[in-house]
Amino acid sequence: MVLTEKQKEKQRIAVRKYRNSNKGRMNRKIYLESEQGKASQDWRSEKNKLAKKNYAQTVKGKLVQKNSYKKHCSKYWYKTIVITSKKKDISLNRCWNEEDYITPEFVLFLNEQQESKCIYCKVTMKYGEGQPRNISNGLTIQRMNCDLAHIKSNCVLSCMKCNVTFKSKPHQKILDFLNS
């Protein structure tokens, strides 16, 4: 049986109400005092201790598991950039010609042309195997015109910090701002 979003929401509300009710609290207390409940608490505390060791801070100050960096630390980072850009463009219904779209080779060419430096702040960007790209100086691709897809004539490489900071601003305005 597949539930609709409305039915799922009703179910979540019902569970929340039960947990907050006296009966729900009492049953929870009884469960936690049982052997099975104690075992689950021990397992959770061990899991939490392990999880705390595996956390790192991202650009926005959020804590994320270090294992989630695997996607950003790939030795095929240039392919990952193209794939994630294409997914984003598809989800936002941006149109493009396939021959104009960025390729892994183009991303490598841009990186070589920019000497692994951010187009805006000139910081050396991190990328490659074992190097997380979702940190402040991680390598990202930025569109110069936010209305267009990730096509070759519309992309530059920037660090994560600049990409997040200048997210929806046109490229030329950013350059004018930084040069003034």
pLDDT tens, per residue, the chain with 180 residues: 677 888 888 888 888 888 788 877 777 777 777 776 666 666 556 555 555 555 554 444 455 554 544 555 567 788 888 888 898 888 888 888 889 999 999 999 999 999 999 988 899 988 877 677 778 888 889 888 888 899 999 999 999 888 888 877 777 777 777 776
In terms of Cα–Cα distance, which of 106, 87, 112 is closest to 151?
Answer: 106
Q: What's the sign of the alpha-carbon dihedral 79, 110, 138, 148?
A: negative
In terms of Cα–Cα distance, which of 110, 172, 177 is closest to 144?
Answer: 172
Measured N-to-C along each axis, helices 77-91 and 104-113 cross at an angle, to the nearest 10 degrees, of 110
pLDDT at 57: 47
CB 103 within 8 A of CB 96: no
pTM exceeds 0.75, yes or no: no
